[in-house]
Amino acid sequence: MKRLLTTLLLTATSLSAVASDNQCYAGKYDAYIDASLGWYEDLAKLTTETYPELSDVSQWFLEGRQHHFELNRAAVHYYLEHDASKVATSQPVEAWLKLDQHDIKVLASRSDTLGKIAKVTFDDRQAKPHDKNYELRSAFAELLSHPKQIDNALNRYNNAIAKLEKIECN
């Protein structure tokens, strides 16, 4: 009886530790997603301020980035709970999850929440690019070649990344 109780206690403690680790990893990944989305929001805003004629395509681009990152957020949360081997937590946070087009297509065929989020991203990737996509990419290149113009946004992103890199999960 004592062995059974000891085994049950050890199992419960182990499961509790795994759940705690998963919460830590999920929180760290959420911080990465939030920092990345903030960077893209800032970049779209700077682009629109500098090139008002690119407002529509900037919004289109930002929505695509939001879909992409929210899929990654949902996938990491899901995999931490169901198949942690798919989340490379020993790597830098930006390399934790690798979803290629085939993976997204498979996820998009599911009927759960993760499948619905994946379908949005899959559809984004299959859609025709915005007519002004090339002009937007050129505007990004121009902005990124002038560090003073992006200094505040880049500092916000770098500070957020530095903060999340200090998060230690077991």
| Model confidence, pTM | 0.86
Residue 20 has pLDDT above 80, yes or no: no
pLDDT confidence of 170, banded at 50, 70, 90? confident
Contact yes or no for 93/28 (Cβ under 8 A): yes
pLDDT tens column, 62-96: 999 999 999 999 999 999 999 999 999 999 999 99
Task: Tally Cβ neighbours within 10 Å of residue 46.
Answer: 19
Locate the domains of the chain by residue range.
Answer: 22-166
